Amino acid sequence: MVRRPAPQGTYLVRRRAVAAVAVVAAVLARASDAARAADLRPAEAVVPREKMGLDLSVGMGSTYGMIGLQARFDVPVRRWLVVAPFVANGLFFKDGAGVGAVPTGGVSLAVGRRFRLALDVGVGPIEFVTLRLHGTAVDARALLGPLAGLGLEVTRENGAYVRLCVGGGWPEWPPLEAARAVFVFNLGAGVRAL
């Protein structure tokens, strides 16, 4: 069997189509590489606020145990989204009955780059009650319960931040007859420790 050569016109069309596909593939590959390079900056270009690490802060409010210290571990899921579990221990003044310590714990969420929308969800002190006998303060207790707050966090390149959240809580422990929703807040300033 003798093969006949393909017509010249069809051969050129195929050759040009293959060349066009190769050029388009090369352009797409370069665009993909450029997008990856823009998203994956060198390690020295990533600022501390975008890295995983431990933050220490001092503040006041429900997520600080009234006046206290908080440790949170920032886990950046994306450059603009940080999830951070936190624990805190604070002091409250017992209205003439001394000073008490209150533990707090929960999770913080921050959305944004420098000016972040902040959300705190946790368990902490919601309000305080004082036992008085004949007008004298004998004891005071912190009423603990679930709390949530929404606010703003302003961060710097070096990892320092200021955070303000307002929200509500529900005092649950120890149980009271007339439990109700209560306004809560927290204000703190911190810095990247590790």
- Residue 87 has a pLDDT of 94
Provide the pLDDT for residue 42: 55
Walk along the chain (194 residues) and give the pLDDT tens digit of each residue.
566 655 555 555 566 766 766 776 666 667 556 555 555 555 556 667 778 899 999 999 888 988 999 999 999 988 889 999 999 998 887 666 567 788 899 999 999 988 999 999 999 888 877 777 887 777 777 888 899 999 999 998 888 999 999 999 988 876 766 667 888 889 999 998 87
Distances (CA, A) of 177 to 128, 174, 180: 15, 10, 10
Domain ranges of the chain: 1-40, 47-192
d(CA 155, CA 173): 34
In contact, 144 and 123? CB cutoff 8 Å: yes
Task: Supply angle C-alpha 170, 165, 77, rounded to 5.
Answer: 105
**CA-to-CA distance for 120 and 174, rounded, in angstroms?**
22
Class of residue 71 by CB neighbours under 10 A (exposed 0-12, middle 13-18, buried 19+): middle
Residue-level pLDDT at 158: 82
Q: Which of 194, 184, 190 is nearest to 148 (CA)?
A: 184
What are the residue ranges of helices labelled H in the chain?
8-39
**Whole-number Å distance between alpha carbons of 112 and 115:** 6
What is the CATH topology of the domain spanning 47-192? Answer: Porin (2.40.160)
Alpha carbon distance 141, 173 (integer Å): 10
Three-state SS for 42? coil
